[in-house]
Structure 1
Amino acid sequence: MTSLPTTVEDPGGTGNEPASSAAAPTTPLTGPAHSRPRRAAMAAAAGTAIEYYEFGVYSYLAVIIGPHFFPGDDPTAALLATLAVFGSAFLMRPLGGIVLGRLGDRVGRKPVLILTVVGMGSATAAVGLLPTAETIGVAAPVALLLVRLAQGFFAGGEVTGSATYLAEAAPHGKRGFFGSFTPVGVALGGGTAALVAGVTTTVLDERQLDAYGWRIPFLLSLPLIALALIARNRLEDSETFLAKKSEKATAKAPLTEVLTEHRAAVLKVTLLAIGSNCGYWVGLIFMNIYLTTDLGYSKSSTFWIMGGISLFVACLMPVCGGLSDRWGRKRLITVGFAGYAVLVVPAMLVMGLGSFPLAVAAMVVLALPMPIVQSVTYPTYAEMFPTRVRYTGLSFSFNIGTIIGGGLSPYLATWLIATTGDLLAPGYLLMAASVMALLTLRTVRESSRTELL
């Protein structure tokens, strides 16, 4: 196996500077140069896993925790209220992206990535400590909402900071491969959430689960924080960012610059992010609700299947990311979104036949576009913005897309089924998002072989 290059080309220059202007970082870097991208990939995946572990646990346990915070005789109303609070966290993501993105573009990537993982993990653990409506009445859903808003704020700078850092830390010609470790964290976090939910619902009976068991998966975020902190504390800031900082070329008002000089990139990333998030939240996370609540399959069995599929998807992501370095980003992303559009309705029809093995097979088929879309879009997003505003631009636009494609889609899918009575309505939602992403992709330039600005 050949080693990675021990020198990294400076992709941050404009092409007019002297060759030596960004050759040396302003602070000494430790450790073998060839190991830095690998450490960066592992640290990025660890932090992103915490974010999606939290969002996954909440989604998987929504049916169980709903009555604790929204008691009533109508389980559908409780589920919708729980999903509405779930979506509220996404509303805070753009604000978190603006604040944390500015810090990342002005101060550095590493300190913000440490802050986000601590903030998200602490808020997740807090959910497991909240008193319920039976104890404090209406204050319980208010407390849940406040914790979710805090989670959303910190999440607004997590996955985008990870994508930013990996794009800048990757060796030339390998941004797709190393950039895929951001969505690897997404898949591992969601898969771990499903497996933890599966273990919890299998080991505990209904009474235990209702009394205290639902809290356990949230509290397990505490050891995950420690692991992520150990990994991220070993990182150095990217040489690309340090070069810009040494040249005093960082943006003084990153958001203003993004909205005045990079509006086209903001729009493209937003629309693509709607499609990719809808693929994740409808194509995987919502299908847990669909299989258990709408089709009546076993909760614990469904959790195990979702966890296994997520881990399977995570293994494929570096392969897809590496292929995008060789074959191009646009070609693979097109295949992924087209796969969603073609597969989702037939897969849901098979799930509704009443056979759990067939439902599992359909879920595996529906998940096949996910490693392509998730692994290749993240480096593509990062490549659309220059280094001086990359963190802010990516955070702002991606999080707007995440509100629509991620925060609203589980609620909207549940509401569509309840309103229309058509169990295939979520599939039409994913098809529409995929077609929109495909049309947007036609306006995106191929960036797999270009230098970062």
Structure 2
Amino acid sequence: MSRVLAPEGAGSMPAAAPDAVSPSCDRKSVSRRAAIAASTGTAVEYYEFGVYGYMAAIIAPLFFPSDNPAAALLASLAVFGSAFLTRPLGGIILGRLGDRIGRRGVLLTTVIGMGLSTALIGFLPTTAQAGILAPILLVLIRLAQGFFAGAEVVGAAAFVAESAPAHRRGFFGAFTPVGVAIGGGTAACVCGVITLLLSPEALQAWGWRIPFFLCVPLVLLSCKLRHNVEETPEYKAFLKKDKPPAAPVREVMGRHLGSVVRVVILAFGQNVGYFIGIVFMNIYLTTYLKFDKSHVYWTIAGISFIVAAMMPFWGAVSDRLGRRRTLAIGFLGYMVLVVPMMTLMNGASIWVAALALLVATLPMPIIQSVGYPTYAEQFPTRVRYTGMAIAVNLGAILGGGVAPFMSSALIGSTGNLLMPGYFLAGAASLSLLSLIFLKETAGQQLER
């Protein structure tokens, strides 16, 4: 850093040149760019998950024609869950690359792969046009989406954690799940507009394809932002002192198995909260409670954006209060709020149902915003990408891939509309118990 030195003996301290930039200011700039680049990519991932989930009831008879609408819906949700099967594989392969060659290049690959896969769904023929080939192609594309998604949100979270100062890692880390909420909210908005503008016949004939095509602008924006960011300071500092691991998967499972188990349980509760609280609630309100689809889409969109706005606040709270205490507030919130709010929705007006859904999702911004930086802090830099990819994706399979299907299946087998709420409360209680064994990492330097 250039300095203007005072004459010898003048007694004054050296003064910084006007164009000098302090390391703290530069780190903040790096953190902001990393947070924005990360959030746009996660927005692409959850836009796709949202669009498929919101359009599931419309897609179901097109790809899984059946005399039983419930069976067709379950088949469509099973395909939704199939994307989670390849997430660990994608996470391990791409996460290994992320630990060996760096985070930036892999994150460009994931967002392009997810975007192309999503757009391809819009080109698919239906079963009426191509027979059994149509659902087979749908499953294959969903598997490809899952492969790339397996390294997306975890890589984004690692990227931000390694770019942010220790005392503000929770705040900047919250912008990764901000992308999650914005992606889901944008998906709901798009589906709401399409449903409003098109007749049911046009929607089934061709309109359902439009939301899948519209992921392309999001992908282009994310690619531009991610291309313009540098490799993370933590990863560059690690490379100066050590070599990338030769076998990161073996190292994670051999040396950090306890961290893997803890993160799996936390990610399970986090994913159940999101995929029941947002994605399945669309099906719940439209299919089971018979609310108008367009009203439900706008409700979920509004709630998603409210959730996104709250996340940086809770991320900052965790920097002061600690990750464990803040996460405990969120999981306790799910246990207390979800079942009563679902009870209130049944038989209510759309306005009361919307308010009840908003209250039920209040724990979501807490757990989403604090969860991702917490996961990143559980693993050292040398295997952070791989460790997160394994643990978070296993939690996502159990919580995200299974939750919507299980919710519909439980309602169908028991006739009790509150079963998804009980399922969510049970998942939250399990995650709450796991916090006992979680080490507090707020404000601490990342392990290399």
TM over 0.5: yes
Amino acid corresponding to residue 366 of structure 1 in structure 2? A
> How big is each residue's C-alpha offset from its partner over 1:73-124, in whole Å with a ceiling of 9 and x where there is no partner?
1111110000000000000000000001000000000000000000000000
For 2:261, give the aligned amino acid. Answer: L
With structure 1 as the length reference, what TM-score do the two structures score? 0.93
The answer to whether the Cα contact below 8 Å between 1:6 and 1:34 also exists between their aligned partners in 2 is no
Code of the aligned partner of 1:208: A
CA contact (8 A) 1:61 1:197 kept: yes
CA contact (8 A) 2:27 2:163 kept: no
Map Cα deviations across residues 122-177 of structure 1 (whole Å, 9 max, x no partner).
Answer: 00000001001011100000000000000000000000000000000002311000
Q: How does 1:256-275 map to 2 (within 5 A)?
A: 256-275=250-269
Specify the structure having the higher radius of gyration (Cα). Answer: 2
Q: Is residue 142 of structure 1 aligned with residue 136 of structure 2?
A: yes
Distance in structure 2 (CA, Å) of the matches to 1:32 and 1:258: 32
TM-fit CA distance, 1:287: 0.7
Matches of 1:99 and 1:422, distance apart in 2: 41
Q: Secondary structure at the match of 1:126?
A: helix
| Aligned equivalent of 1:345 | 339
What one-letter code is carried by the residue in structure 2 that aligns with 1:126? L
Deviations 1:154-205 (A, max 9, x none): 0000000000000000023110000001100000000000010000000111
**Counterpart of 2:423?**
429
TM-score, length-normalised on structure 2? 0.94
- SS of 1:169's partner is coil
What does 1:75-90 correspond to in 2, within 5 Å? 75-90=69-84
Partner of residue 195, structure 1: 189
Which of 436, 439, 443 aligns to 2:437? It is 443
Looking at structure 2, the residues matched to 377 and 410 of structure 1 have their Cα atoms a distance apart, in angstroms, of 21
Q: How does 1:3-82 map to 2 (within 5 A)?
A: 6-7=22-23, 32-82=26-76
What is the SS of the residue equivalent to 1:316?
A: helix
Please report how far the alpha carbon of residue 446 of structure 1 lies from its aligned counterpart in structure 2 after TM superposition.
Answer: 1.1
Aligned to 2:171: 177
Q: Match of 2:85?
A: 91
Q: Does residue 140 of structure 2 align to residue 124 of structure 1?
A: no
Match of 1:395 in 2: 389
Per the TM alignment, residue 284 of structure 1 is displaced from its structure 2 partner at its CA by 1.6
Kindly state the Cα deviation for residue 327 of structure 1 after the two structures are TM-superposed.
Answer: 1.1
Q: State the 1:207 CA deviation.
A: 1.1
Aligned counterparts of 2:307 and 2:208: Cα–Cα separation in 1: 26
Deviation at 1:32, TM superposition (A): 4.8
Cα deviation digits, residues 302-335 of structure 1 (max 9, x gap) = 0000000000000000010011111111111000
Structure 2 residue matching 1:173: 3-state secondary structure: helix
SS at match of 1:174: helix
Q: In 2, Cα distance between the equivalents of 1:34 and 1:336?
A: 28
Q: Which amino acid aligns with 1:333?
A: L
| CA drift at 1:243 | 1.8
1:364 is matched with which residue?
358
- Give the aligned length: 427
Give the C-alpha shift of residue 72 in structure 1.
1.4
SS at 1:442 equivalent = helix
Residue number in structure 2 paired with 1:316: 310
Residue 415 of structure 1 corresponds to which residue in structure 2? 409
Distance 1:83 1:448, change over 3 A: same
Measured in 1, the distance between the counterparts of 2:369 and 2:243 equals 30
Could you tell me the percent identity over the aligned residues? 54
- Give the Å deviation of 1:283: 1.4
Residue in structure 2 matching 1:375, options 361, 369, 376: 369
Q: Give secondary structure in 1 for the equivalent of 2:162.
A: helix
8 Å Cα contact 1:282/1:430 also seen in 2 = yes
Contact 2:154 2:385 in 1 (8 A): yes
The aligned residue for residue 251 of structure 1 is: 245
Q: Using a 3 Å threshold, how does the CA distance of structure 1 residues 411 and 423 change in structure 2: closer, same or farther?
A: same
- Paired with 2:393 and 2:264, the residues of 1 have a C-alpha distance of 8
Q: Secondary structure at the match of 2:442?
A: coil
| Residue 247 of structure 1: how far off its partner (Å) | 2.5
The separation in 1 between residues aligned to 2:276 and 2:60, in whole angstroms, is: 19
Instruction: After superposition, give the CA deviation of every residue in 1:318-377 in whole Å (9 maximum; x if it has no partner).
Output: 010011111111111000000001111101000002321110110010111000010001
Q: Counterparts of 1:171 and 1:449 in 2: how far apart (Å)?
A: 9
Q: Which sections of structure 1, spanning at least 5 residues, go unmatched?
A: 9-30
Q: Provide the rounded CA distance (Å) in 2 between the counterparts of 1:449 and 1:153.
A: 33
1:348 and 1:362 in contact (8 A); partners too = yes
Letter aligned with residue 361 of structure 2: A
Q: Which amino acid aligns with 2:156?
A: S
**In structure 2, how many angstroms separate the alpha carbons of the residues matched to 1:109 and 1:227?**
18
- The residue number in structure 2 matching 1:162 is 156
**RMSD of aligned C-alpha atoms?**
1.1
Specify the SS of the correspondent of 2:251.
helix
